[in-house]
Amino acid sequence: MKKFRTVTLGCRVNQYETAFVRESLLESGWQEVSRENGAEADLVLINTCSVTAESDAKCRKAISAAAEASPRAELVVMGCYAAAAPERVAAFPRVSEVVADKRKLPEFLERRGWKVPKGIGSFGSRHRAYIKIQDGCRVGCSYCLIPKVRPYLASRREEEVLCEVRELARRGYREIVLSGIHLGHYGLDLIAADRKAALARLEDYIERRSAAPPENRHTLAQLLRALVEQVPELRYRLGSLEAVEVTDELVRLAAEFPERVCPHFHLSMQSGDDAVLARMKRRWPSGPFMERALSIRDSIPLAALTTDVIVGFPGETDEEFQNTCRAVEKVRFSKVHIFRYSRRPGTEAAEMKGQVPDSVKRERAAELEKIALRLRAEYAASLVGREVTVLVEEERRSARQGTCEYFLPVRFEGDVPLGTLRRAAVLSAEGETLIGRVL
């Protein structure tokens, strides 16, 4: 029996796509092995990321490491770095094939004589599954290469997603994370009679959706409602969204089905300063972002609002950075993912004047981290005395730990099966970790 192993770098979509190929290999009679158990692989699949220059470096290191660790294995490289630099990737020792376009994954599998799965039925050792429902981005932020390597918009139809989710539920999964490259653009491409007739401008897609009858707009909210109503035994969590893409219907669903839709919205902010956002070529200034974030908080007072922030973007002044800090404080984010800007060759921002020194980036990141940790601890403390639903994920001697609907870790005593959803009373908080008692 031939053996394979996988290496995945990057986002949830990448993790899903690796799981898709893994499903194909398992259905085709291959055996999965890990580097840790010392078994020699015949094939190593490396799924790469290219969101930053550092990501590219990690990918090159991973390819070299795979060649060294599995000297007899065939290396197949896919993902965004493979799309950004296919010739460079192909030149690495032992790389036999580069899959630069993820749309051609089924064709790649068929050509290899492997089965093309209808979806995934497992997600490795994880107890929650990431489901890719959308691909592609047309926005064109000045710091991002992704629109160049995933420029197409492609959404999965409702029936296909439902089928995959039902299978995951049958196999015991209890939380699904709906993921995409630009999740808020789910369904824009489904409105056209001929999905191959891609439109040139993002605005054209949006205008076409607005002109369609409400029942035929293929929105994220419509898909989420179908999932909640037709596969109600699962809990659903949304991936990253632009704040203005969190529609009233999405908020209503989270309020109407608190046990089924996690009241957790990850709102991509990047900066709280309008001048920085303009240089980033973000689609909206800070005003609409703040208005929408605060309106979600008004509708669901305990909602977990998380975000991404880039510090040290070219030209960022102390005052512009402080505007970002003030925005984080005003929204009271429960978690902030902080990234120090790094120049990404091939992007507009890499050539901008006013590159911020690394020492300043580190100082700003550290300052914002202090704010973020304090807000996260305060948010955790606000849940003390309440009940939460925990996806049990880890065994820690006599204790268990998992994640609640508010995207906080919860620890409690007791022999509770992993992968289950359990209600717990929150007794106290230690930093960001809730200490609970199973009900």
pLDDT, tens digit (0-9, with 9 covering 90-100), for 164-216 = 999 999 999 999 999 999 999 999 998 865 555 566 678 888 888 888 888 78
Q: Is the dihedral of CA 384, 389, 392, 398 positive or negative?
A: positive
The CATH number corresponding to 3-111 among 3.10.440.10, 3.40.50.300, 3.40.50.12160, 3.40.50.880 equals 3.40.50.12160
CATH of domain 128-380: 3.80.30.20
pLDDT at 51: 87
In sequence order, the β-bridge partners of residue 438 are 424
pLDDT, tens digit (0-9, with 9 covering 90-100), for 245-268 = 999 999 999 999 999 999 999 999
- Closest-CA residue to 182 (of 9, 56, 13): 13
What percent of the chain is predicted at pLDDT more than 70? 97
Tell me the C-alpha distance between 151 and 261, whole Å.
30
The topology under which CATH files domain 387-438 is OB fold (Dihydrolipoamide Acetyltransferase, E2P) (2.40.50)
User: Do strands 74-79 and 95-99 pair parallel, antiparallel, or not at all (unpaired)?
Assistant: parallel
> What is the domain partition of the chain in residue ranges?
3-111, 128-380, 387-438
Q: Which amino acid is at 382?
A: S
Q: Under a CB-based contact definition with an 8 Å cutoff, are residues 266 and 240 in contact?
A: yes
Residue 37 clears pLDDT 70, i.e. is over it: no
pLDDT, tens digit (0-9, with 9 covering 90-100), for 280-304 = 999 999 999 999 999 999 999 999 9
Sequence-ordered list of residues with C-beta below 8 angstroms from that of 314, at least 6 positions apart, any chain: 279, 341, 349, 352, 353, 354, 355, 356
What percent of the chain is predicted at pLDDT more than 90? 82
Q: Under a CB-based contact definition with an 8 Å cutoff, are residues 78 and 45 in contact?
A: yes
| Structure confidence at residue 103 as a pLDDT band (50, 70, 90) | confident
